Amino acid sequence: MSLGYQCIVLHAHLPYIRHPEYDSFLEENWLFEAITETYVPLIRALERLRDAGIEGCLTLSLSPTLLTMLRDPFLQARYLAHMDRLQQLAAREVRRTQGDAAFAPLARLYGDRLEETVTVFETGCQRDLVAAFARLQADGVVELITTAATHGYLPLLRTEPAAVRAQLLVGAQTFQALVGVPARGVWLPECGYYPGLEGLLEEAGYGYFFVDAHGLLNATPRPYYGLSAPVVCPNGVAAFGRDPESSRRVWSREEGYPGDFQYRDFYRDVGFDLDFDYVRPFILDGRTRIHTGFKYYRITGPGDHKLPYDPAEAARRVTAHADDFVARSRRNVAGQGARSTPAPLIVSPYDAELLGHWWFEGPQWLEAVIRRMADAPDAVALTTPSAYLARHSSLQSATPSASSWGDGGYNAFWLNPGNDWIYPQLHDAARRMNVLARQHGDAAPGSLPYRAVQQAGRSLLLAQASDWAFIMKSETAKEYARRRTRDHLARFNYLEQCVLTGAIDERRLQALEVMDQLFPALDPAVFG
Catalytically annotated residues: 190, 351
Q: Are strands 231-232 and 238-241 parallel, antiparallel or unpaired?
A: antiparallel
Cα separation, 42 vs 409, whole angstroms: 29
- E strand residue ranges, 177-334: 186-187, 208-211, 231-232, 238-241
Give the closest residue to 406 by CA, choosing from 31, 150, 156, 200.
156
Residue 270 near residue 100, CB atoms below 8 Å: no
Q: Classify each residue of 476-512 as buried b or exposed e, where b means 16 or more C-beta atoms within 10 Å of its C-beta.
A: ebeebbbebbeebbebbbbbbebbeeeebeeeebeeb
- Which residues neighbour 387 within 8 Å (Cβ) at sequence distance 6 or greater? 56, 143
Residues 6+ apart with CB under 8 A from 96: 107
Residue 338: burial class (beta carbons within 10 Å; 0-12, 13-18, 19+): exposed
Within a 10 A sphere around the Cβ of 12, how many other Cβ atoms?
Answer: 24
Residues β-bridged to residue 288: 284
Question: For residue 526, what are the contacts with CB-CB under 8 A and spacing of at least 6?
Answer: 165, 166, 169, 170, 437, 457
Residues pairing with 118 in the sheet: none
- Separation CA 513–CA 517 (nearest Å): 6
Whether the Cβ atoms of residue 321 and residue 329 lie closer than 8 Å to each other: no
Encoded amino acid at 330, one letter: R
Integer-rounded Cα radius of gyration of the chain: 23
For residue 419, give the 3-state DSSP assignment: coil
> Who contacts 376 (Cβ-Cβ below 8 Å, separation ≥6)?
none
Q: How far apart are CA 34 and CA 57, in angstroms?
A: 21
Could you tell me which of 252, 255, 295, 283 has the C-alpha nearest to residue 37?
295
